[in-house]
């Protein structure tokens, strides 16, 4: 059966001289694998559309055990990603994380939009890379059904004022007083808490529309990464490398 779908190439694996196996995030079928025969040849009609981080319109032949790329037309290529090692490292992390999450429709469409928007922001240098990393991590968790309980303190109901603590395993929020009683050290300052709520709750169009100090960005970054990994329940090789190039 032949189908048409748009998708973002998250991973490529070379086979032989010119073939590739693509991992593609699609809005209507989630994460799929497909064989792109001859796609590494410069004169191949598949060459442009099957590159890493290409968002393309694919025509696929689907079978019981495998899929094959018949055609691939580029819709968006993020050429700016290659301008820095840090940008490429973050893009690789987002791609591996999205492939690991492997969202199913309809969540797949929302995660795809998130990854595409983040790649655009990286490519065009629109937002600081550490902040984009945090936005992706917490938004992806929220879209996947793992949004933390961030509206108020789980102990006393306090909404704001001072530092708070987010439990990376349980996803509960505690004010400084309740955190002290539970023998936890607050990990969110007021700016980081505001940003966390914005990332989880804002509309897509406003997701990236906030500013944050460097200190609050660092605190937010630690919390978002801890929460993401706790719910993903596995490590990522791309994150290990990202830590070597991005503070």
Q: Note the CATH architecture for domain 2-77.
A: Beta Barrel (2.40)
Question: Residues with Cβ < 8 Å from 111, sequence gap 6 or more?
Answer: 25, 98, 101, 103, 140, 143, 144
pLDDT at 74: 97
Least Cα distance to 192 among 110, 126, 246, 131 occurs for 131
Tens-digit pLDDT profile for residues 130-143: 999 999 999 999 99
Instruction: Quote the pLDDT of residue 1.
Output: 87
Position 64 scores a pLDDT of 77
**Residue spans of beta strands (DSSP E) within 37-107:** 54-62, 67-77
Bridge-based pairing state of the strands 67-77 and 164-166: unpaired
**pLDDT per residue as tens digits for the range 68-112:** 999 999 999 999 999 999 999 999 999 999 999 999 999 999 999
Q: Where are the domains of the chain?
A: 2-77, 85-150+160-245
Q: Please give the CATH superfamily to which domain 85-150+160-245 belongs.
A: Recombination protein O, C-terminal domain (1.20.1440.120)
Which residues, given as ranges, of the chain have pLDDT below 50?
Answer: none
Q: How far is CA 9 from CA 23, 81, 95, 179, in A?
A: 6, 14, 8, 43
Question: b/e for 47-85, b at 16 or more Cβ within 10 A?
Answer: bebbbbbbbbebebeeeeeebebbebeeeebbeebeeee
Paired strand residues for 23? 11, 33
């Amino acid at each position: 059966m032949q189908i048409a779908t748009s998708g973002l190439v998250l991973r490529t694996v070379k086979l032989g001289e010119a073939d590739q196996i693509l991992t593609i995030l699609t809005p209507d079928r989630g994460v799929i694998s497909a064989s792109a025969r001859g796609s590494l040849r410069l004169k191949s009609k598949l060459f442009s559309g099957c590159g890493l981080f290409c968002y393309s319109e694919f025509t696929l032949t689907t079978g019981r055990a495998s899929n094959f790329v018949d055609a691939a037309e580029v819709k968006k290529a993020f050429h700016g990603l290659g301008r820095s090692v840090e940008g490429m490292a973050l893009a690789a992390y987002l791609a591996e994380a999205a492939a690991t999450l492997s969202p199913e429709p309809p969540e797949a469409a929302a995660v795809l939009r998130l990854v595409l928007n983040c790649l655009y922001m990286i490519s065009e240098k629109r937002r600081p890379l550490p902040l984009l990393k945090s936005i992706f991590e917490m938004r992806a968790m929220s879209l996947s059904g793992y949004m933390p309980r961030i509206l108020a303190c789980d102990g006393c109901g306090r909404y704001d004022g001072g530092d708070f603590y987010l439990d990376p395993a349980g996803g509960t929020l505690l004010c400084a007083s309740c955190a002290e009683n539970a023998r936890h050290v607050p990990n969110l300052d007021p700016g980081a808490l505001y940003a966390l709520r914005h990332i989880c709750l804002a509309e897509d169009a406003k997701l990236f529309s906030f500013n944050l100090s460097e200190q609050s960005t660092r605190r937010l970054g630690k919390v978002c990464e801890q929460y993401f990994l706790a719910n993903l329940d596995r490590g990522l090789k791309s994150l290990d490398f990202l830590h070597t190039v991005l503070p």
